[in-house]
Structure 1
């Protein structure tokens, strides 16, 4: 389901509902407008562009620290026995994951690659939850060999496969059954995961029987129930409905005399991309206590976007401004291969000019687009913006989650650089990919013979 705001901004009508530059800035304390332009913490983005080029991902270490702590404190103040496991799918940068690991986060991973990143970042195997609807035999073997603390099983078929693997390896898998509550999270259709029509989880009506079956399987120890209903959820109502069902199922498991130690309640709490009202960490934690606190079970919470989304911007440079017959186009050197969310999810991202003078200039509607050969390569439609000539810099906001991690080399465009900022310091955490690195490993089949030198001009 698209929000009304997303429907309006993608319809081609003027983006009159967009918050102004000052409003966007005020809601993001890690950003500042200085005499030399927009800055992340105390690092001017113009300096980043000179030092590292564009497009470049820029992450605020302070924002990541602050948001993780806010969620951690909110949960602790309720008295809940709750542990945060950061969802690497939001942003798997080694620097980001390492910072969170050193703040005490565990990890929620959905592939062997993410598990390996979590381990590189210093997260102990016991603090890793392995989720995902299509774990391969090789991935499960690697997870069991590493001793991951919890595997979230999504089907009876996966449970049987895991039992056979664990038995063959002579180990025991600690398992939580992921339940599909058939709850509409009220978010975009492509990121809702808790409806019966979605591929995720076990129907709630099958939960007790499968849990009992798991308890009898060799190589399996059921430790709890898991649930994740979607991403970018901006109301507590869907969580409340899902968690209430989860609590009822936990009571059924207990009444059947089966052991249960924890509830994995997933993530999905949204952020205010366009100034929407979203629940605070404290409001979310209070709702968790209200629905699940009486059970006395350990809780696993898996935020991703909420922690890292606001902490990142995509810094881009204007290639040129083009006046069409009916529309003004601002063409950036960033594209949908860098940030695909607007194309894929109709997502709205704030866009701020970096130069202070542009904040005082007259505004008119502009379509902000990239150079990729797709009409869908669009960051904003009819967005009120000043005149932005070649070489101007802009920052695309709230790009810390599902940005770099979803980027590609479509149109043979190398991956952008990534920089982390802390106070007045900035450091490259992923160098800009070279053309040679992008194409490394490609070979011709034998029947084409050796690669010939390029023809002369």
Structure 2
């Protein structure tokens, strides 16, 4: 579904012109399409229709309340990794019984908050965390349904910084230690091991690593049941990739068929936790050109967005399509440009030698596929205010996170008494 398309020479989000949004809210800003969010949800969740599968949106991909509520209205649960994300999910209308709390370093306070809320499941990643949860739950007089996140030592063949399923990664219980860990949990009060969890990474474009990991989980399930554990759930995580450039991707239907071929006869409820695949291509970042700078050897397009607004290119060397908001003439000659921001870092670079039509100061550009890990990873570096997030629904648009004033940023700080 193409929701970001040119109409009469102007790039639109659904029926709203990005030029009109820029005039109303200023630049830079993030823009999300309600139609794209709903279509992505329907494609993914619909592929599992009629099966005992719960789809929990991975809030870390984009934690805006309006985004979460859009999915909650479609029946989504939430996968959270902090108390803050859990409270966002609850505030957006996700029922607690559809919330899974993941994460390698949950604090006791976060455990208490999750247990008080009555969430569906906590995913435990170490013996010390297990013992802490047992202590907290026993003290509260409750029993926590838990999964152990098992590290299957499977190479996701994705970027090293978003791979999580190899034995050298910090995540999960080593596969070979799983039987001992489940036995330890069965002997502790306040915890009930009912599930196995796995998540091997993000932006996977091949089903083979998923298959390898899920087959290891299925083997472990049989072993644990033989040991006497009542394992009735499988949490298979997320990680399905999106198209940023020209990636060849499996469809949600292909993914669902693979999952079902492995888990369909295991008698388990399956939880899936998509994030990027639901929101990544449902958003763009719109920026305005400040200057076009002609260097000795290359031309620079300096825009008002920066690495603090979209850090993925600096952090992961990631690719985002870049196009003018006002469509270039069909016969326009492209020029290789370095697209950069105003932050005083060489890493504040979005693209090197990207072919673009001639640009001038004041021109708007859109960064594609910016709905995931864009706004949610932004910061106030250089005392740059966080940029607005806008949601479009047809021809209507609304600011769903406003741009703070610099006065408000300064007012949040306190001077010590000796100054």
TM-score bracket relative to the smaller structure: over 0.9
In structure 2, the residue matched to 1:411 is: 382
Q: How far 1:292 sits from its partner (Å)?
A: 1.8
Q: Distance in 1 between matches of 2:332 and 2:301?
A: 16
Shift of the 359–315 alpha-carbon distance from structure 1 to 2, 3 Å rule, reads farther
1:94-153 superposed Cα distances (whole Å, 9 cap, x missing partner): 000011001000000000000000000111111110000011111111111111110000
Is contact 2:150-2:197 (8 Å) kept? yes
TM-score by length of structure 2 reads 0.99
TM (norm. structure 1) is 0.90
Other structure's SS at 1:222 match: strand
CA distance in 2 between counterparts of 1:36 and 1:48 reads 16
1:109 to 2:80 alignment: yes
Cα deviation, residue 212, structure 1: 2.0
**Is this contact kept in 1: 2:101–2:121, CA < 8 A?**
yes
Matching of residue 184 in structure 1 with residue 140 in structure 2 = no
What displacement does 1:80 show?
3.0
State whether structure 2 residue 369 is matched by structure 1 residue 369.
Answer: no
- Alpha-carbon distance in 1 for matches of 2:92, 2:186: 33
| Aligned mate of 1:229, from 195, 200, 211 | 200
- Show the counterpart of 2:40: 67
Q: For residue 30 of structure 1, what is the aligned residue in structure 2?
A: 3
Give unpaired runs (5+ residues) of structure 2: none
Question: What is the deviation of 1:176?
Answer: 0.4
Alignment correspondent of 1:324: 295
Q: Distance in 2 between matches of 1:358 and 1:186?
A: 39
Match of 1:430 among 373, 391, 401: 401
| Corresponding residue for residue 390 of structure 1 | 361
Contact 2:312–2:373 (8 Å) recurs in 1: yes
Q: Which residue is 2:279 aligned to?
A: 308
Three-state SS of the structure 1 residue aligned to 2:57 is: strand
State which drifts further: 159-168 or 207-216: 207-216
- Give yes or no for contact 2:322–2:367 (8 Å, CA) kept in 1: yes
In 2: Cα distance, 1:179 partner to 1:80 partner: 24
Note the C-alpha offset of 1:291: 1.8
Deviations 1:294-341 (A, max 9, x none): 212110000000000000000000001001111110000000000000
In structure 2, what is the Cα distance between the partners aligned to 1:139 and 1:308?
Answer: 26
**Aligned partners of 2:385 and 2:56: how far apart in 1?**
31
Using a 3 Å threshold, how does the CA distance of structure 1 residues 359 and 443 change in structure 2: closer, same or farther? farther
Q: Does 1:252 align with 2:223?
A: yes
1:409 & 1:445 partners in 2: Cα distance?
22
- 2-structure distance, mates of 1:354, 1:429: 22
Consecutive unaligned residues of structure 1, counting only runs of 5 or more, are: 1-27, 449-457
* 8 Å Cα contact 2:328/2:357 also seen in 1: no
Aligned structure 1 segments of 4 or more residues deviating by more than 4 angstroms:
none
What's the CA shift string for 1:194-237, capped at 9, x where partnerless? Answer: 01111100001111221122122100111100000000111001
**8 Å Cα contact 2:194/2:229 also seen in 1:** no
Residues 1:310 and 1:197: Cα distance change in structure 2 (over 3 Å): same
2:23 counterpart residue number: 50
The residue number in structure 1 matching 2:179 is 208
8 Å Cα contact 1:268-1:304 kept in structure 2: yes
Give the direction of change, closer, same or farther, for the CA distance of 1:359–1:155 in structure 2 (3 Å limit).
farther
CA deviation map 1:341-373 (0-9, x unaligned): 000000000011111235542101111000000
Contact 1:75 1:285 in 2 (8 A): yes
Q: In the alignment, what sits opposite 2:328?
A: 357
Distance in 2 separating the partners of 1:218 and 1:290: 36
1:269 has 2:240 as partner: yes
Q: Within the alignment, does 1:280 sit opposite 2:251 as a pair?
A: yes
Residue 119 (structure 2) pairs with residue 148 (structure 1) = yes
Query: What SS does structure 1 have at the residue aligned with 2:361?
Result: coil
Of the structure 1 ranges 120-129 and 432-441, higher mean CA displacement relative to structure 2 is found in: 432-441
| Contact kept? 1:353, 1:359, Cα under 8 Å | no
- Between the aligned partners of 2:410 and 2:38, the Cα distance in structure 1 is 36
